[in-house]
């Protein structure tokens, strides 16, 4: 159900922060509150990562130091990297800024799927806590944030440390994918009337591309992590040479994710800077179109540069040349951005506040990091620097001097909007100079140390290398930076406690968020704005669009005199996330807990599915226009299916890579049964027919027929699963187990995951069928059946590929 | 135009008439025939030299039929195709890239 806010009360509820008590934060689905939760959580973890970093710097301050043991140092550098990337920069950029600013900038009342948004946050929190709980059970993860195989195999890293890391990352991956899917749909489908793509604020462009990158980058990582978990728990050999496999597979799957990830971290920062620099230069952004295209181009190219992380692995001259070229090419759109920022400042009437200072420092430091990045595009040079402190300097200038500084600029910029308070400029300048000087003291000398040969990831070094001076210098710098962060925290507290309130538009801003009160009311916009140009709010205030400030749609007035409809808070997101965490805990501790977790997840999904059926449907209900005749839920479903395609592509790719490389038989050619599988294929194809007939019946309002077709579809799905169970059992009896050879492990994993999807589909369809008995799937909710159908057909098309590629082709070409 | 009317209009626009039951059944028949063709090609020695490209064409046709008719991409708004198409292409890119790069790295399969 929805919360209906009486129109007469709209003007009275001006502050999203003050609605309800603590419990209201646990069940909130307001994007602004979720953004605040992301921000607080990320800053908390940044504190942890900072403490880890300072302890590492104390250890490295002197040669032959024993402040930390090698083991503890390994844990700290692993968790510092993992934390900063997965728990700080990424959730700050997308989760915090994406939630706080993006919906306001596009003139939306919330994101497309508010409860999914809450779910993303709670999964993020529980996943992070799960990973950090490793310290309570024998120590933290210690194999590096990149978790290179085969160091991560059970033989080399026994215990549960890597288990927590791998399962934690899988859980966090769910959060990232759900959150990005939500943002993608929101931006595609929920922009204010008149806001074309080329009128979107450039920050929104960057969030859009970063969200797409998450959707395409995380599935390969998830597959890589699943292989790792299987190697450690079940004894497969995906990354072990024992069975003819190669650890290099991990590097590919990891860096297929890893380099887009760099831009997932950087793009929100680019977006923030593209807002703050024009605002405080009192000029429009230079080259808006070029910036938008450059953003899209970065997203596209970033998927083809992963190999530059692997020059040292010996990929061969052709792959080296290709990745070298693509890496140099991606510098072009990035260069366009830097040029635009600099050109925007040219002749500007600067507002020299803290946000602007951080933005300028970002441009300089990010450019330094970018230039050293281009150096690494050359394999010959990369081989000299790889594994040295030069690389550490490079990526800290990109992510620390880049993204983190941009985020600080963004916090100072949007703080008045979020909180209704101003931040103290004197404290702001103080924390800027401390952090900026400390940062450069810490990381610039690492270039020198790296070129001098100091390897990264070492916990100590000998006095004879003459690295002591710069290491001490860096440690002092790190503490200066730490003091700067403390001053920043003090500035936040001081601001929250001060009585000074912020006006709605303290910066004379250009974008729509500045047109509403600070802090915004829970419904954001009392009247949805019409957009006629870029810099929409600026045009409204100063330009020709003043006359068009009339609302696009009057808030609906129902029979009860209700006005703006917002979705109600929900307990299910936090329940579902807790269930997912239990699944992870059970995998490590006690398997029965996993089953409890699965049950909670299932019930929570059902609860969410039937709790509130209409939110997210065609946005014209909210907006009063028909410019985008798309249903947000359907856009989301197709996006999810597309992302799932990459999951299966990674599984299929692995199967194809290992095909014919078994050291022992039996292999595909000797064991696969075509007649049985042909029958199963026929069954699955016919189930798709029944599924589409079910949908047609529900759309006609013939619920009984639709239900029968649904039962028929699920029944054929069960027949298919029965065939698969028979096939697996037969193979097991013939000695082909998951551990037996490469064919066994890749076949069972690929076909098994497909079977798992069929099983989930069967459960989904049966749930719909039984719900229809209670009248919960009426004609007007036939879309619910269509979503189940889309998923079912997707499972079908994956099988079409598997049947041809694995069964028919492999039987002929396989060993 | 009222909000409700706009919504109704947009909904109709999105859900333009799709295929009839007869078309769905015809598609199922074509899918069955294509599957039979795949299996026939697999067992007939004369087809072996072109088996792999033939199987790729046949399975590609089945894939396209399901996506176009059963998943309604042929009838629905083009935006859905614009979302799914590039992601599917990236998936194919991953498979091909992994195969090429790791085949070079690992050398020829020992049993090939």
Q: How many angstroms separate the CA of residue B27 from the nearest CA in chain A?
A: 8
Predicted complex ipTM exceeds 0.85: yes
Please check the confidence at residue A562 and state whether its pLDDT lies above 80. no
In the structure, what pLDDT confidence band is assigned to residue A661 with cuts at 50, 70 and 90?
confident
The three-class DSSP label of residue A565 is: strand
Please check the confidence at residue A810 and state whether its pLDDT lies above 80. no
**Range ranked top by mean pLDDT from A616-625, A666-675, A678-687:** A678-687
Chain B interface test: which of A558, A653, A790 (most B C-beta within 10 Å)? A653
Q: Which residues face A565 on adjacent strands?
A: A4
The mean per-residue pLDDT over the stretch A649-654 comes to: 95
B61-86 pLDDT, tens digit per residue, is 999 999 999 999 999 999 999 999 99
Question: Phi and psi dihedrals of A603, rounded to 5?
Answer: -65, -40
> CB–CB of B70 and A692 under 8 A?
yes
What does the mean pLDDT of chain A come to?
Answer: 91
> CB–CB of A631 and B14 under 8 A?
yes
How confident is the model at residue A5, as a pLDDT? 44
- Long-range pairs, A71-77, Cβ under 8 A, ≥24: A71/A139, A71/A142, A72/A139, A73/A459, A74/A142, A74/A143, A74/A459, A75/A135, A75/A139, A75/A140, A75/A141, A75/A142, A75/A161, A76/A52, A76/A140, A77/A52, A77/A144, A77/A457
The mean per-residue pLDDT over the stretch B2-23 comes to: 57
Exposed / middle / buried, residue A714 (Cβ in 10 Å: 0-12, 13-18, 19+): buried
Q: Is the peptide bond before A666 cis (omega within 30 degrees of 0)?
A: yes
Q: How many angstroms separate the CA of residue A246 from the nearest CA in chain B?
A: 8
The mean per-residue pLDDT over the stretch A277-287 comes to: 96
- C-alpha distances (whole Å) from A4 to each of A116, A118, A535, A599 are 20, 20, 31, 33
What's the CA gap between A24 and A626, in Å, rounded? 34
Write out the two tokens for A719. 């027949």
Q: E-assigned strands of A530-684?
A: 562-567
> Mind telling me the catalytic residues of A?
80, 110, 145, 175-176, 259, 261, 263, 274, 308-309, 334, 337, 456
Chain A interface test: which of B1, B66, B69, B82 (most A C-beta within 10 Å)? B66
What's the CA gap between A627 and A195, in Å, rounded? 10
In the structure, what pLDDT confidence band is assigned to residue B16 with cuts at 50, 70 and 90?
low
Which of A311, A307, A313 shows the shortest CA–CA distance to A326? A307
Q: Which of A176-185, A524-533, A661-670, A675-684 has the lowest mean pLDDT?
A: A661-670
The mean per-residue pLDDT over the stretch A655-660 comes to: 90
What's the CA gap between A303 and A214, in Å, rounded? 11
Contacts of residue B105 in chain A, CB cutoff 8 Å?
Answer: 246, 248, 313-316
Please check the confidence at residue A418 and state whether its pLDDT lies above 50. yes
How confident is the model at residue A778, as a pLDDT? 81
Nearest chain B residue (CA) to A803: B59
Nearest chain B residue (CA) to A623: B3
Please check the confidence at residue B101 and state whether its pLDDT lies above 80. yes
Please check the confidence at residue A754 and state whether its pLDDT lies above 90. yes
What's the CA gap between A237 and A11, in Å, rounded? 63
Contacts of residue A626 in chain B, CB cutoff 8 Å?
Answer: 6-7, 9-10, 13
How confident is the model at residue A415, as a pLDDT? 97
The mean per-residue pLDDT over the stretch A777-787 comes to: 86
A570-601 pLDDT, tens digit per residue, is 999 999 999 999 998 998 888 889 999 999 99
The mean per-residue pLDDT over the stretch A519-540 comes to: 90
Q: How many CA atoms lie within 13 A of A458 on its CB side?
A: 20
In chain A the domains, ranked by start, together with CATH numbers, are 2-514 (1.20.210.10), 651-813 (1.20.120.80)
Name the residue facing A804 among B7, B59, B67 (closest C-beta): B59
Nearest chain A residue (CA) to B83: A639
How confident is the model at residue A3, as a pLDDT? 44
> CB–CB of B3 and A556 under 8 A?
yes
Write out the two tokens for A548. 């068009």
Query: Please, what is the angle between helix A632-658 and helix A742-773, to 10°?
Result: 160
How confident is the model at residue A371, as a pLDDT? 94
Name the residue facing B87 among A645, A813, A815 (closest C-beta): A645
Distance between start and end Cα atoms, chain A: 58
Nearest chain B residue (CA) to A680: B35
How confident is the model at residue A775, as a pLDDT? 85
Question: Phi and psi dihedrals of A563, rounded to 5?
Answer: -110, -105
In the structure, what pLDDT confidence band is assigned to residue A108 with cuts at 50, 70 and 90?
very high
Write out the two tokens for A441. 């003291």
How confident is the model at residue A551, as a pLDDT? 45
Which of B32, B18, B55 shows the shortest CA–CA distance to A684? B32
> CB–CB of B66 and A653 under 8 A?
no
> CB–CB of A793 and B70 under 8 A?
yes
Q: How many angstroms separate the CA of residue A210 from the nearest CA in chain B?
A: 15
> CB–CB of A642 and B87 under 8 A?
yes
Contacts of A445 by beta carbon, 8 Å cutoff, 6+ apart: A470, A473, A474
- C-alpha distances (whole Å) from A705 to each of A686, A725, A769 are 17, 30, 11
The mean per-residue pLDDT over the stretch A510-518 comes to: 94
Chains A, B: CB contacts within 8 A come to 198
How confident is the model at residue A8, as a pLDDT? 41
Chain B interface test: which of A642, A705, A761 (most B C-beta within 10 Å)? A642
C-alpha of A200 from chain center: 21
Nearest chain A residue (CA) to B87: A642
Please check the confidence at residue A412 and state whether its pLDDT lies above 70. yes
A352-381 pLDDT, tens digit per residue, is 999 999 999 999 999 999 999 999 999 999
Contacts of B77 by beta carbon, 8 Å cutoff, 6+ apart: A629, A630, B14
> CB–CB of B70 and A626 under 8 A?
no
How confident is the model at residue A629, as a pLDDT? 67
The mean per-residue pLDDT over the stretch A185-214 comes to: 95
């Amino acid at each position: 159900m929805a919360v209906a806010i009486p129109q007469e009360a709209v003007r009275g509820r001006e502050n999203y922060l003050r609605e309800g008590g603590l419990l209201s934060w646990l069940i909130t689905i307001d994007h602004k509150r979720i953004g605040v939760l992301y921000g607080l959580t990320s800053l908390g973890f940044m504190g942890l990562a900072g403490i880890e970093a300072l302890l590492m710097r104390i250890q490295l301050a002197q040669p032959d130091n024993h402040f930390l043991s090698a083991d503890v140092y390994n844990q700290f550098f692993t968790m510092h990297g993992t934390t900063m990337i997965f728990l700080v920069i990424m959730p700050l950029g997308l989760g915090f800024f994406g939630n706080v600013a993006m919906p306001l900038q596009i003139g939306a009342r919330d994101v497309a799927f508010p409860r999914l948004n809450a779910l993303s946050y709670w999964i993020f929190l529980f996943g992070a806590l799960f990973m950090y709980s490793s310290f309570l059970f024998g120590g933290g993860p210690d194999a590096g944030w990149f978790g290179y195989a085969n160091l991560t195999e059970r033989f080399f890293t026994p215990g549960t440390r890597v288990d927590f890391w791998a399962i934690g990352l899988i859980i966090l991956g769910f959060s990232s994918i759900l959150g990005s899917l939500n943002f993608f749909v929101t931006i595609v489908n929920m922009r204010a009337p008149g806001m074309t793509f080329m009128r979107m604020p450039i920050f929104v462009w960057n969030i859009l591309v970063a969200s797409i990158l998450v959707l395409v980058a995380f599935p390969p990582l998830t597959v890589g992590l699943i292989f790792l978990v299987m190697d450690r728990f079940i004894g497969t050999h995906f990354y072990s040479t024992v069975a003819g496999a190669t650890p290099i597979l991990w590097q590919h799957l990891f860096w297929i994710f890893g380099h887009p990830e760099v831009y997932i971290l950087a793009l929100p920062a680019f977006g923030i800077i593209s807002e703050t620099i024009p605002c405080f230069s009192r000029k429009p952004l230079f080259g808006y179109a070029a910036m938008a295209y450059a953003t899209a181009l970065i997203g596209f190219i970033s998927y083809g540069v992963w190999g530059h992380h692997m020059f040292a692995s010996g990929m061969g001259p052709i792959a080296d040349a290709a990745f070298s070229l693509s890496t140099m090419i991606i510098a072009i759109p990035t260069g366009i951005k830097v040029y635009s920022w600099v050109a925007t400042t040219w002749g500007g009437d600067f507002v020299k506040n803290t946000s602007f200072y951080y933005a300028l420092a970002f441009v300089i430091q990010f450019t330094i990091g970018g230039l050293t990045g281009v150096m690494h595009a050359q394999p010959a040079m990369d081989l000299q620097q790889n594994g040295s402190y030069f690389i550490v300097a490079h990526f800290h200038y990109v992510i620390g001097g880049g993204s983190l500084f941009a985020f600080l600029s963004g916090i100072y910029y949007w703080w008045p909007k979020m909180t209704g308070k101003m931040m103290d400029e004197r404290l702001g300048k103080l924390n800027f100079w401390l952090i900026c000087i400390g940062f450069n003291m810490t990381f610039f000398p690492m270039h020198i140390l790296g070129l001098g040969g100091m390897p990264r990831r070492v916990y100590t070094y000998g006095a004879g290398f003459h690295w002591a001076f710069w290491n001490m210098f860096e440690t002092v710098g790190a503490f200066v930076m730490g003091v700067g962060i403390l001053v920043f925290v003090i500035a936040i507290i001081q601001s929250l406690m001060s009585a000074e309130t912020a006006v709605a538009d303290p910066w004379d801003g250009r974008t729509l968020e500045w047109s509403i009160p600070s802090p915004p009311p829970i419904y954001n916009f009392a009247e949805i704005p019409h957009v006629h140009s870029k810099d929409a709010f600026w045009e409204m205030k100063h330009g020709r669009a003043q006359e068009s400030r009339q609302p696009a749609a009057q808030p609906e007035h129902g029979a009860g005199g209700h006005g703006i409809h917002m979705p109600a808070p929900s307990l299910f997101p936090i329940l579902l996330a807790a269930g997912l965490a239990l699944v992870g805990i059970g995998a490590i501790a006690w398997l029965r807990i996993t089953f409890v977790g699965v049950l909670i997840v299932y019930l929570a999904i059902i609860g969410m599915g039937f709790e509130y059926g209409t939110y997210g449907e065609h946005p014209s209900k909210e907006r009063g226009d028909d410019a985008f005749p798309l249903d947000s839920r359907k856009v989301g479903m197709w996006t999810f299916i597309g992302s799932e395609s990459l999951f299966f592509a990674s599984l299929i790719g692995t199967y194809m890579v290992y095909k014919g490389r078994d050291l022992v038989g039996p292999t595909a050619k000797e064991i696969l049964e075509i007649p049985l599988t042909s029958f199963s294929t026929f069954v699955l194809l016919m189930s798709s027919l029944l599924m589409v007939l079910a949908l047609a019946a529900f759309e006609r309002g013939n619920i009984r027929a639709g239900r029968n077709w649904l039962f028929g579809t699920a029944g054929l799905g069960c027949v298919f699963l029965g065939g698969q169970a028979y096939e697996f059992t037969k193979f097991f009896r013939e000695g082909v187990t998951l551990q037996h050879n490469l064919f066994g492990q890749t076949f069972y994993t690929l076909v098994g995951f497909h079977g798992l999807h069929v099983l989930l589909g069967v459960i989904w369809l049966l749930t719909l069928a039984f719900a229809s008995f209670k009248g919960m799937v009426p004609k007007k909710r036939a879309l619910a059946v269509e979503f189940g159908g889309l998923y079912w057909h997707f499972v079908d098309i994956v099988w079409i590929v598997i049947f041809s590629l694995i069964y028919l082709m492999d039987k002929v070409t396989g060993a | 135009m009222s909000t409700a009317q706009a919504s109704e209009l947009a909904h109709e626009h999105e859900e333009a008439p799709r295929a009839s039951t007869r078309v769905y059944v015809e598609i199922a028949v074509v899918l069955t025939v294509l599957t039979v063709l795949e299996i026939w090609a697999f067992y007939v020695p004369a087809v072996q030299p072109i088996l792999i490209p033939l199987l790729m064409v046949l399975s590609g046709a089945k894939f396209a039929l399901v996506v176009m008719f059963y998943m309604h991409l042929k009838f629905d708004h083009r935006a859905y195709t614009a979302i799914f198409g590039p992601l599917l292409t990236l998936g194919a890119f991953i498979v091909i890239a992994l195969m090429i790069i790791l085949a070079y790295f690992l050398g020829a399969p020992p049993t090939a």
